[in-house]
Structure 1
């Protein structure tokens, strides 16, 4: 990520570094002018215009420094901000490309920490650290050369004695800072995830009266973050004073040896003032080294965390892709045994089923039997063995995931709505959807009357974050309308009507049969009454299809389907009483 960015913006860093160097060169001029002024004042000046010229020169140098600093900030700091934008863009594109298995094992707070703290740390390494490194290296070399060539090499070699110990100390503390900052960032990710989870689940927390326990949990994680920061600060707090101590030692050496040289006449007072001014300028690079090591090591630690994300590989691979853009919806699953990544037990076992194009089938069964897994397999959210699942006669592994999902309208169990209007939520993913189309599919999903009569601003009503202002049934029906508006040839409804009553569910499914022609509709439901008019009903139990057929056929068999259906009818009668 950094290499590709530098290849694109290297010239901006080069320009910025040039202006930093120009600032350093200009800074070397003023001490020399001041030293000359002191020597002239000491010996006596006959022409005051000489002093005026020197003062004008100092003003001109200051103006040059002002302009040069402005431009290096534009080039280097501006590039660092561009990197921040670029890195977030690359990271977000990476997140969009990663499979569902990745999101099964990583938390939202962890991702947010990498998008905020980690990116900011790398940005500082790409901005202030670049300035400090160029400034420190060039200023050190040029200042040492100026001190030696213009004043005294002997005195210069003496005062730079603290520099070698500085390099050793920096290397030692750099490793400590790197290790401890990685722990700080990890603790921040845990704390962020807990905060995000608590805010998202605030209604559950309040309904169960768990405010105190969540507060204590958050307090503990925040305290862990603080302690890891304190551990880092201890290292940093020791490192920076050591740098200052070494810088001060150089100053003491200069005063001792330089003062004696002035007394013995080896140096003029002006030369000594120039030398000590240069030494003061040399102290800044020595102190900047401490800041530089800190920023670079933090940036390295954060960049390694970003690279972990960028190095994530998708497990959804399309080999020898078939040339297909539109599917008809003929689906065949041939003896499929499936287990989730990092799982030991198979969720589906030797499953076979055939769904003709344009048919309406239902998948029912006991809890945990693998119904939702079948839906996820058909949308290829997880890797699937070759030669087991076919759509329109083509192995699903040869169909590009983008093409596959374009041809499937999938409504999962967990309905997600965006913080947008009802209209925009229904039209999500469909460009330039007309109001007539939105109303039509909202009517098929049995949500149009609710929108018109119960929502304060109709289709322009804001639903709130994740649809919190709507009931569960309303959210589910809006999600169904959104899927139907897509006009995909395959529609999968994964138990997405659990929050509505049985009669409404039956009405919606009946509307699907009447309102959608030549589409393959797959309904996964735990309510058997709502799917009894399906062309074929597949009954899953413990990952296996144990029964299949139309409703009447399954009732005649007297198996699990009949027992489940009669039990549900009995439960409805008891509820009515």
Structure 2
């Protein structure tokens, strides 16, 4: 019995082969390109489009809610028009239900996306690891490999959910309120949000640069800590036979101290996160500006309430960016 030419010329079967690897080229171009390749792989692109659309629409509805509340207050202070309050209540109720539903949708999709990326990255890591030679494994620290395949791959999940989702929401809530302030209120009120936006971007950029090396140091020390403990436990008989317990303890405590120092250093940087202070000053300045315009007859009480509500939306990107950019710098 003879074999066909097609069988003889086909590619050999390789054990543990992952098949077609769509990430080969991206791996050669660096970590950023590799992560982007995972994010935009296959049907993930559709998820990204829906997530961005839902987040932008939810941010618009949040600003519109405060504008309608301001108009409702103005109607309440005008007795002949109080009969319209029912309409405002219904509109606010509809928007109040739609906004959270859109956020739930976006967070469900971002969580699915994060789980898929973690699954694909873990599979890619294991299949490539199984293809390595025995000499490669002999040169590696088992504990550090385990830290990479468990904790570091898990961080990819956190990078997408909630970090990526929160970054998109942060920049959406940073710029959309400014548009509604321009469209609905005296143009002079644009000063405060623009000053805050410029200051926020500058301070976040500085914060991200400072926390990047510290976060890298923290992750590196965690890998060394795990590797030292794993090697000591796996070779505990040799350690005891050669009476090296004290030496191994000193090595472990040295790595633990470095990890603790890096953790404290990151905490100090987070404690000096200045955008929170700047936001408080901007909201105070915005309120004072509203009072001046009110005295000049350019604003009503309802407009002041709505403006401060829209300005308060800036709290979300301010508070969440400290956490998000720490993850992104990992």
Q: TM-score range by the shorter chain?
A: 0.7 to 0.9
- Mapping of residues 446-461 of structure 1, within 5 Å: none
**C-alpha distance in 2 between matches for 1:101 and 1:45:** 86
Tell me whether 1:106 sits opposite 2:175 in the alignment.
Answer: no
Q: Which residue, out of 157, 160, 166, partners 2:191?
A: 157
Could you tell me whether the CA contact under 8 Å between 2:141 and 2:231 is conserved in 1?
A: no
* Counterpart Cα distance in 1 of 2:73 and 2:82: 15
User: Which residue in the other structure is 1:96 paired with?
Assistant: 130
Structure-2 separation of matches of 1:243 and 1:124: 23
Matched, 1:82 2:116: yes
Deviations 1:453-489 (A, max 9, x none): xxxxxxxxxxxxxxxxxxxxxxxxxxxxxxxxxxxxx
Aligned to 1:505: none
The equivalent of 2:35 in structure 1 is: 2
Number of the residue aligned with 1:185: 219
- The 8 Å contact of residues 55 and 168 in structure 2, kept in 1 or not, is answered as yes
Q: Which has the higher helix share?
A: 2
Partner of 1:25 in structure 2? 60
Query: Which segments of 5 or more consecutive residues in structure 2 lack a partner in the other structure?
Result: 1-33
Q: 1:34 aligns with which of 65, 69, 88?
A: 69
SS in 2 for 1:187: helix
Q: Which runs of 5+ in 1 are unaligned?
A: 299-577
Is contact 1:148–1:156 with CA below 8 Å preserved after alignment?
yes
Aligned with residue 13 of structure 1, among 17, 42, 48? 48
1:415-474 Cα distance to aligned partner (Å, 9 max, x none): xxxxxxxxxxxxxxxxxxxxxxxxxxxxxxxxxxxxxxxxxxxxxxxxxxxxxxxxxxxx
- Cα gap change, 1:257/1:192 in structure 2, threshold over 3 Å: closer, same or farther? same
Q: TM-score, normalised by structure 2?
A: 0.82
In structure 1, what is the Cα distance between the partners aligned to 2:216 and 2:272?
19
Alignment correspondent of 1:251: 283
Q: Deviations over 1:12-68 (max 9, x none)?
A: 1111121111211221221112111111111115554x2222222222212112211
| Higher strand fraction (1 or 2) | 1
Shift of 1:210: 5.5
Query: Which residue is 1:276 aligned to?
Result: 308
Q: Which moved more, 1:269-278 or 1:51-60?
A: 51-60
The alignment partner of 1:267 has SS state of coil
Aligned to 1:265: 297
CA distance in 1, matches of 2:106, 2:98: 12
Contact 1:35–1:270, Cα closer than 8 Å, also in 2: yes
**Higher mean C-alpha deviation, range 211-220 or range 253-262:** 211-220
1:267 Cα offset (Å): 0.4
Q: What whole-Å deviation, never above 9, does each CA across 1:491-548 have from its counterpart, x for those lacking one?
A: xxxxxxxxxxxxxxxxxxxxxxxxxxxxxxxxxxxxxxxxxxxxxxxxxxxxxxxxxx
Q: Please tell me whether the aligned partners of residues 39 and 268 of structure 1 are also in contact (alpha carbons under 8 angstroms).
A: yes
Find the aligned partners of 1:282 and 1:169 in 2 and give their Cα distance: 15
- Compared CA separation, residues 96 and 254, structure 1 to 2 (3 A): same
8 Å CA contact 1:117, 1:185 repeated in 2: no
Distance 2:214 2:51 in 1: 31
Deviation at residue 227 of structure 1 after TM alignment: 0.9
CA shift for structure 1 position 161: 1.2
Are residues 1:291 and 2:323 paired? yes
- Selected match of 2:261 from 224, 227, 234: 227
**SS at the partner of 1:32?**
helix
> What is the match of residue 321 of structure 1?
none
1:467 equivalent in structure 2: none
Task: Give the Cα separation in 1 of the matches to 2:50 and 2:198.
Answer: 31
Indicate conservation of the 8 Å contact 2:117/2:157, yes or no.
yes
**Does structure 1 residue 52 correspond to structure 2 residue 83?**
no
TM-score normalised to structure 1 length: 0.48
Higher gyration radius (CA): 1
1:275-319 deviations in Å (ceiling 9; x for gaps): 000000123223333333222212xxxxxxxxxxxxxxxxxxxxx
Distance 1:290 1:174 in 2: 9
Q: Distance in 1 between matches of 2:158 and 2:53?
A: 19
- The residue that corresponds to 1:124 in the other structure is 158
Secondary structure in 1 aligned to 2:124? Answer: helix
